[in-house]
Amino acid sequence: MNASTSSTPVLAVRDLAISLPRGGDRPHAVEKISFDVPPGKIVCLLGESGSGKSVIANAVMGLLPSGLTPTAGSIKLQGKELVGAPQNEFRDLRGPSMAMVFQEPMTALNPVMTCGDQIDEMLVQHVQMGAAERRQKILAIMARVKLPEPERIYASYPHQLSGGQRQRIVIAIALILRPVLLICDEPTTALDVTTQAEILKLILELQTENGTAVLFITHDFGVVAEIADEVVVLQLGHMIEKGDKHEVLTRPREPYTKMLLDAVPELASQARAPVADAEPLLDAKNICKTYTTGSWPGKRRTVNAVRDVSLKVRPRETVGIVGESGSGKSTVARCIARLIDPTSGDIHASGKSVGHLKGRGLSPYRRDVQVIFQDPYRSLNPRQTVGDSIIEGPLNFGVSRDQAWKEAEDLMHLVRLKPEALRRYPSEFSGGQRQRISIARALACKPKLIIADEAVSALDVSVQAQILKLLDEIQRATHIGILFITHDLRVASQICDRVIVMHQGQIVEQGAVSDVFFQPKQDYTRRLLAAAPGRDFAFHRS
């Protein structure tokens, strides 16, 4: 059957119900879910974490974990019933008929196999073809997904590629057999705006070229505005609303959809109180970081990750750093936090030089500067209770356990969690709650400066809005400074007083948000702004 000419849906989901294990927070992961994915169309599943989006995708692919069981309804791929199908049938369908692009390519790819061999696995499994012919087909799909130097990348390992290149490899694996259904589960969440724009354009091109039906899962409304034909809104496993993209995003019927749309950050200069011209909490001067790779003299290569970066952060001020992956944002943050040593330059904190301190000499500075990382689940010890993680820092700085625990209880109120949460483990919390815990842990040492490294990029828009509001309230109450690193320009415009744009390790432009984002002087800044998905879409606002 040719997907592009068939009038019947490629994927038809009817009254689907999938049960959760006994003792879960609700009986069903999803219940009474019905929608179609027509040939040549993109249907987006929207909703907060826990709404059941990925459960539906995994059910279609036959990848549900043990404990999750379809108890009612139907999933049909080109008329073939998938509910109750044995795993050998799913294995035959994965690749030739349906394929999936996952959120994090580094976990989807095998780190000890070359990229070419990983694409070749799909061909070996499903087609009768000689090795030379398979290699040519792989090089052709690599070129089609716009990977540079296909021969080199064929022999490269995943860790040798950028995030955007790794995601292109995953897309190549998914599309090499031209499946009729492509499922994309948050494929652009961790990518910067320019790489994200390239991946979305690529998916659109391939979908149009092959007449592929696409089921796209995302929490980024800009992405939805950019690529969706139809939208299905989910909440706690129930379908709240569905329809044409423009209908749902501009004229939503349901309060939940309106709440989600109200939480979508706008690219706008916020009216924030002016920051006093006080003594800087942080004054980084001419920071450089150089790496040398290779051990043989003839093969040594010098990489200038950061070149001559200077910045200041004052009390009650939020300074943003934006730019593409590889621009040096996080390297600057690590140098400032002294997690790595800068090659040259100096860092002054509260008027004192700390750029060349080592060991115990850094102890006071480490108390004053705390970091909130992107993934709170990886930054919290899964074997420690939340309380033990929060009080660990104060205990290291000489605070008594009783006092540290009392302050941790106060911090729970500050980040809007109950003190009883201190006795639970990170796995018992949602992503947004874990990020609140990470904020409490950073505040436990009573820092003067917080470095937030992509602290909200993986969160739903509603949770993201809550965390941004929380950081703003904490800053007003404590007068801390915040160095905010993000690839989301909308988020930067919401929370930052000043913004720094980086490209290839250097600062290309900096200034007030109103100047940099709305009157940019540099071509690179203009390109970055133009790449933001859905920038000009008129979302519903209450």
Percentage of the chain exceeding pLDDT 70: 95
Measure the CA–CA gap between 415 and 369, rounded to whole angstroms: 19
Two structure tokens written together for 101: 């692009």
Helix axes 461-478, 431-443, angle to 10 degrees: 10
CA-to-CA dists, residue 335 to 237, 285, 349, 451, 531, angstroms: 43, 11, 13, 11, 29
pLDDT > 70? residue 299: no
Q: Indicate the pTM of the whole model.
A: 0.80
Q: How does residue 255 score in pLDDT terms, banded at 50, 70 and 90?
A: very high
Q: How does residue 2 score in pLDDT terms, banded at 50, 70 and 90?
A: very low
Q: How does residue 4 score in pLDDT terms, banded at 50, 70 and 90?
A: very low
Find, among 82, 77, 38, 39, the residue nearest to 63 by Cα. Answer: 82
Q: How does residue 297 score in pLDDT terms, banded at 50, 70 and 90?
A: low
Two structure tokens written together for 93: 């369908």
Mean of pLDDT over the chain = 88
Residue with tokens 């916020």: 270
Cross-strand bridge partners of residue 99? 182
Percentage of the chain exceeding pLDDT 90: 56
* pLDDT tens per residue, range 428-469: 887 778 888 999 999 999 999 999 988 887 777 888 888 888
Two structure tokens written together for 467: 């965390």
Instruction: Write down the pLDDT at residue 14.
Output: 97
Instruction: Write down the pLDDT at residue 220.
Output: 83
